[in-house]
Chains A and B, each alone.
Chain A
Amino acid sequence: MPFKTEDKWKAIEDLQAIHRDGQVLEIELRFSKKEKQAEAVWASNVILGQQIDVLIGKAIDGWLAEAKPILKKLAKAAGGIQASINDIADTIKKQEKIVKAIGYIDDAVKIAAKLAKYL
């Protein structure tokens, strides 16, 4: 079962703690003027740092993959609300059309009234 992104971040954080221990050790050795040992610690830590970078890259890839379906659902949610907004706008437009229709009928009524005077 593939690791979830949260588990990946946790694993990287643990490795970063070990990486930090190595850096602190290197600095302690330098303050103690033990340059050769300090360089050896530094060299190992460089490799660990590069591996951490690779893992960060993989965790980012994992996050992006996890994000896809959620982003689709968000887009769908927004689409649903837009549909509601459009629906209400249509309701108003329908009423506007009805009032226009009443206006046309009103015109017909006026014409009928005039005709009635002559017939």
Chain B
Amino acid sequence: MDGPHDVECSADPRLWLAAGLSRGRVWCLPGGWNAAVSLLAVAILGCSGAIDSQPFSTYAAANQELAQSSDSALDLAYEESLQGFLQEASRSPSQATRALLLRGVADDPFGWEGPANQVVLPWKVAAFRSGVDHLNVGLVGYAALLSTLASGESTTIQQVDQIAIDLNGNLKSAAAAFGKESDSGAAILSTAAAAGLKAYIESKRRGELADAIETNQSTIEAASALGRSATRGTAVILRRAYQSESTKLARRVARGGSSVQPLFELDVRYIDSLQVLRRIDGAYRQLPRAHRQLATSLEAEGSTLEQIKVFYQEALRLNQLYRKLKSSSGGSDSSSENGSE
């Protein structure tokens, strides 16, 4: 029976299949030819292979863990700076009172500001925490979208398969209307068409991912530097609070009113905090390398992707360390005493 019904041929099988689909024409060949042509199309189109989405989801998960650790550290910094401010206020109420007398801001009906050359440090730390949160939300969101693009979740392979099923159904009906029995030819054509579409989409996704990683590498590097700077700032804030608190406890020992144990325990918590911050700094430092390695994962199947694994493990360990730190932190006695206490 068979022969082509108005199908265009071209050197590129993708165009050939697309042309066949778009023009609603039925390609019928002798049975063996159907299979051969379809297999050829699939072989040519199927070269690029499925993207390994695991590195992308690992990268996304690591960003999530890092964001949580970073925020937890700033939460601690805020609490410590608040305690420090209240202690200072109990020693020098006039200074603290002056710092708390807020004013409006010219040309901003909802604005406020404190006196110049005075600062309520906890408020600044709260603003800092909010800014760092925006940074981390941006990094997490970006990584999640990369992961979505890599996994093809939004496109769903099921949709492509459904296209094949629907196309198969339509082709069979058309054949039956002319009194022809449906045969495996229609099924092979619709399968080949779906395989062609899948391969085209995989190739497109791979290209878009590679472009995105290349284009955004410098932004990730800048974000990484910003994260490291924020971590350094968090250490500065914690040091400020520690130095104030430890001096207070040392005074008590010097005056004979206390043992060294509270000071010892404070030191342990402070050292643990600094360790966590050092690791957070390390994780931010690894971020650009892990990001770059995502491109490698697109090129080489089975590549070791060491950087991404290290980044993820580091981020996981951070959160565990921080949870341990938080549970051991009981806070020190912040009751005020006269004069220089």
Residues of A within 8 A of B (CB): 5-6, 9, 12-13, 16, 19-20, 23, 26-27, 30-31, 38-39, 42-43, 46, 49-50, 52-54, 56-57, 59-61, 63-64, 66-67, 70-71, 73-75, 77-78, 80-82, 84-85, 87-89, 91-92, 95-96, 98-103, 105-106, 109-110, 112-113
Of the listed stretches B41-49, B242-250, B278-286, chain A binds B242-250
- Pair B197/A16 contact, Cβ less than 8 Å: no
Residues 255-274 of B, flagged 1 when their CB comes within 8 A of A and 0 if not, give 10000000000000000000
CB distance from A87 to the nearest CB of B (A): 8
Q: In the bound complex, how far is the Cα of B146 from the Cα of A103, in angstroms?
A: 35
For B205, give its contact among A57, A75, A88 (CB under 8 Å). Answer: A88
- Pair A53/B174 contact, Cβ less than 8 Å: no
CB distance from B175 to the nearest CB of A (A): 9
Q: In the bound complex, how far is the Cα of B119 from the Cα of A49, in angstroms?
A: 11
For A110, give its contact among B145, B160, B177, B250 (CB under 8 Å). Answer: B177
Question: Which of chain A's residues have a CB closer than 8 A to the CB of B88?
Answer: 46, 49
Q: In the bound complex, how far is the Cα of B239 from the Cα of A57, in angstroms?
A: 15
Question: Which of chain B's residues have a CB closer than 8 A to the CB of A23?
Answer: 243, 246-247, 250
- Pair B232/A6 contact, Cβ less than 8 Å: yes
Question: Which of chain B's residues have a CB closer than 8 A to the CB of A57?
Answer: 119, 121, 124
- Pair B254/A31 contact, Cβ less than 8 Å: yes
- Pair B236/A9 contact, Cβ less than 8 Å: yes
Q: Is B323's CB within 8 Å of the partner chain A? A: no
For B127, give its contact among A5, A49, A64, A78 (CB under 8 Å). Answer: A64
Interface size class of B (residues with CB under 8 A): 35 or more
Q: In the bound complex, how far is the Cα of B219 from the Cα of A88, in angstroms?
A: 24
For B340, give its contact among A38, A59, A82 (CB under 8 Å). Answer: A38
Question: Which of chain A's residues have a CB closer than 8 A to the CB of B162?
Answer: 96
Q: In the bound complex, how far is the Cα of B159 from the Cα of A112, in angstroms?
A: 31
- Pair A99/B128 contact, Cβ less than 8 Å: no
Q: In the bound complex, how far is the Cα of B124 from the Cα of A5, in angstroms?
A: 15
- Pair A60/B233 contact, Cβ less than 8 Å: yes
Q: Is B139's CB within 8 Å of the partner chain A? A: yes
Residues 143-163 of B, flagged 1 when their CB comes within 8 A of A and 0 if not, give 001101100101110011011
Question: Which of chain B's residues have a CB closer than 8 A to the CB of A27?
Answer: 247, 250-251, 254
- Pair B240/A88 contact, Cβ less than 8 Å: no
Q: Is B332's CB within 8 Å of the partner chain A? A: no
Q: In the bound complex, how far is the Cα of B179 from the Cα of A89, in angstroms?
A: 37
In the complex, 25 of the A-B residue pairs with CB atoms within 8 angstroms, ordered by the A residue number, are A5-B229, A9-B229, A13-B236, A13-B239, A27-B254, A50-B95, A56-B236, A60-B233, A63-B233, A64-B127, A67-B134, A77-B215, A78-B138, A78-B145, A80-B212, A80-B215, A81-B146, A85-B145, A88-B154, A88-B155, A92-B159, A95-B21, A95-B163, A106-B177, A109-B173
Q: In the bound complex, how far is the Cα of B205 from the Cα of A60, in angstroms?
A: 40
- Given the contacts A64-B127, A78-B141, A16 and B170 also touching, CB distance less than 8 Å: no
- Given the contacts A39-B339, A85-B148, A113-B177, A70 and B222 also touching, CB distance less than 8 Å: yes
For A71, give its contact among B135, B177, B197, B233 (CB under 8 Å). Answer: B135
Residues 207-236 of B, flagged 1 when their CB comes within 8 A of A and 0 if not, give 011001001100100110010011011001
CB distance from B180 to the nearest CB of A (A): 11
Question: Which of chain B's residues have a CB closer than 8 A to the CB of A91?
Answer: 200-201, 204
